[in-house]
Structure 1
Amino acid sequence: MATTSPTETTGERVVVLNPVSGAGDHPETVREHAEDYGYDVLETEEEGDAIELTRDAIGDGATEIAAAGGDGTLNGVVRGVVEAEALDDVTVGVLPCGTGNDFAANVGVTGIEQGFEVLEAGERRRIDLGFADGDPFVNSCVGGLTAESSAETSPALKDQFGTFAYVVETLRAIPSFDGIRLTARLSDADADAPVWSGTAIAVLIGNGRRFPPSGSTQANMEDGRFDVTLVHGTGSVDLMETAAVERLLGRESDQTSRYTVSGLEIEVQEADPVSFSLDGEIIERHELSVRNEPRALTFAVGERYEPIPGGEE
């Protein structure tokens, strides 16, 4: 429980609360802390509400907005900030209440109470923001088997298995997934533009996170670049071989190609569009343009956040 004295709300500090994120047992805790710290609480009721509530709150003068939910709720808040053209005027924070809370962990926030403490006194950093065909994402944009499985993972399965639900649904999807034929043109200001073409099991584009075979998953969020991993192959055998090498042995596989770039263009050579997951929000495309806007978003981060993860140069 927070120890600060009750503070009168002014509309400048807002929490956008998704009451059904994760196990759905967090709303009372969020509301209690919000009252202590002087935050108005705006509750979502249906998909898309986080965007509208954020946009309206900014119109009413909000300058600090925290997302209380999972990565999808945070994506909605960020999208609302973008739509309000308020990236230079608003600080965003996160109160982890979802199933995985992947991005929250990457910015050093591991609980609701600590999240409020970070909002109150934590460091503010300008972090990169990804855009896929103009739609923002803070953590990742993934296509292929991972996105297909994410789209099919039900709330009931998440309640039963937690973060393992995505793995369960992935294993279910393997027998019917044949890969995606695509071409990826990657670009960076300091390098030639490589082109990758073939059949991919997954396209993993990390802004707040990276996809290493082992070690920390936090990406450098302030370098203006994405960590891109292409997992190539044609089905379940290839996928399981890659998983065995990368997850069990913790070493690189010849079935992955990795790049660090500021943007990429993806063209899918399939009859049907492919699902891409932007922080858990699903879009479908035959073509996708992904770009990085360096240090576009002001974010409240915890002490464990690393501007340069692992001391990398």
Structure 2
Amino acid sequence: MTDDTARVILNGKSAQLPEVREAVQALREAGADLEVRVTWEAGDALRLCDEASRDGITRLIAGGGDGTVNELVNGLMRLAPAARPALGVLPLGSANDFANGAGIPLEPRQALALALEASPHKADVVRLGNHYYLNMASCGFGAAVTSSTPKAMKRLLGGGAYSLMGALEAWRYQPYRGHMSWPEGESDAPLFLLAIGNGCQAGGGQRLAPSAKLDDGLLEVLIVRDFESLSGLKQALDELEALPACGEYVEYFQTTRLRFDSDAVLPLTLDGEPFGWTHFEANVLPGELTLLLPAKSPLLS
């Protein structure tokens, strides 16, 4: 164990999990200086980030799913850079897309031990409007599927729930239209799906940005253009299997900024949290957070 002071901000829904309590107790008995705070209502995570910084906490651990991680990322980004504790993850959600992509153990004691022992790594954050995210923004069809999946089904089926709801959503799907621009190009093609990645996966295990690194100063952009036939759908699926290669329906590239403008609302999810905008710009902010990750994390350069 390091001599750093560590604190878990635990999603209230997970506070009574026996495996979490046992993991915290075991690590304390092993000598860890590990505190726990529990969220109760909206805004608690932001307040607890401020409190941790004032208390001199050097390692802050997000205990929950991708939404909890996102809340802490936004709380930390409100602080001055020098006042931000390093961020670790105790994955307790239904999908845990960020943790899975980063190679963070899903077993609570192993995940906490990693957060207490790992060497800090500088990592990029993405700003989209007034919000920040660490992993992925999925837009269009992917966002509609995520927001329409009942939470009870997520807990019951894990990532498989997204595939089930995706099949149902496809029957009433309509393409999304708008203008996209980035420093190296632009597009007006009707969208089936748009993903803007800092991490590599979303939607319960869908690898939408296979080349993603958290420390390269770049966004991974995946555009799936609309198709009008079953043969087009099959070809788009085949092209997705071949990522990061591009094809007739699938375009994949890296950039530092992407803007979207439309007359209609485009559904988005930022690290699993639903939003909707007609206009937005995503910008990568290099090295803005310090993360506690495995030394050989697939998301580190």
TM-score using structure 1 length: 0.83
- Once the two structures are TM-superposed, the CA of residue 291 in structure 1 deviates from its matched residue by 0.2
- Once the two structures are TM-superposed, the CA of residue 268 in structure 1 deviates from its matched residue by 2.0
Separation in 1 of the partners of 2:104 and 2:212?
Answer: 15
Deviations 1:154-199 (A, max 9, x none): 1111122111111111111111111100111112xxxxx3001121
Among 227, 235, 255, which residue is 2:249 paired with?
A: 255
Does residue 55 of structure 2 align to residue 52 of structure 1? no
- CA separation of 1:268 and 1:234: change in aligned 2, threshold 3 A: farther
Does residue 133 of structure 2 align to residue 140 of structure 1? no
1:9-158 equivalence runs, <5 A: 12-20=5-13, 26-33=19-26, 35-36=28-29, 37-86=32-81, 89-111=84-106, 112-158=108-154
Among 226, 236, 243, which residue is 1:233 paired with?
A: 226
Task: Give the 3-state SS of the residue equivalent to 2:45 in structure 1.
Answer: helix
Among 178, 181, 184, which residue is 1:185 paired with?
A: 181
Deviations 1:121-172 (A, max 9, x none): 2121101111101311000111101111111111111122111111111111
In the alignment, structure 2 segments of 5+ residues that lack a partner are: none
Separation in 1 of the partners of 2:37 and 2:149?
Answer: 27
Kept after mapping to 2: 8 A contact 1:119/1:300: yes
Count of residue correspondences: 294
Kept after mapping to 1: 8 A contact 2:211/2:220: no
TM-score using structure 2 length: 0.86
- CA separation of 1:34 and 1:87: change in aligned 2, threshold 3 A: farther
Aligned to 2:162: 166
Q: What letter matches 1:152 in structure 2?
A: S
- CA separation of 1:308 and 1:138: change in aligned 2, threshold 3 A: closer
Aligned to 1:295: 287
- Once the two structures are TM-superposed, the CA of residue 218 in structure 1 deviates from its matched residue by 6.0
Query: RMSD of aligned C-alpha atoms?
Result: 3.0
- CA separation of 1:88 and 1:238: change in aligned 2, threshold 3 A: farther
Task: Give the 3-state SS of the residue equivalent to 1:198 in structure 2.
Answer: coil
Aligned to 1:190: none
- CA separation of 1:216 and 1:195: change in aligned 2, threshold 3 A: closer
Task: Give the 3-state SS of the residue equivalent to 2:40 in structure 1.
Answer: coil
Kept after mapping to 1: 8 A contact 2:89/2:104: yes
Kept after mapping to 2: 8 A contact 1:246/1:253: yes
Kept after mapping to 2: 8 A contact 1:231/1:255: yes
Separation in 1 of the partners of 2:22 and 2:168?
Answer: 35
- Once the two structures are TM-superposed, the CA of residue 83 in structure 1 deviates from its matched residue by 1.5
In the alignment, structure 1 segments of 5+ residues that lack a partner are: 188-192
- Once the two structures are TM-superposed, the CA of residue 228 in structure 1 deviates from its matched residue by 0.2
Kept after mapping to 1: 8 A contact 2:53/2:84: no
Moved more, 243-252 or 73-82: 243-252
- Once the two structures are TM-superposed, the CA of residue 30 in structure 1 deviates from its matched residue by 4.8
Sequence identity percentage: 23
Kept after mapping to 1: 8 A contact 2:122/2:215: yes
- CA separation of 1:209 and 1:77: change in aligned 2, threshold 3 A: same
- CA separation of 1:175 and 1:96: change in aligned 2, threshold 3 A: same
Task: Give the 3-state SS of the residue equivalent to 2:53 in structure 1.
Answer: helix
- CA separation of 1:44 and 1:279: change in aligned 2, threshold 3 A: same
Kept after mapping to 2: 8 A contact 1:16/1:42: yes
- Once the two structures are TM-superposed, the CA of residue 25 in structure 1 deviates from its matched residue by 6.3
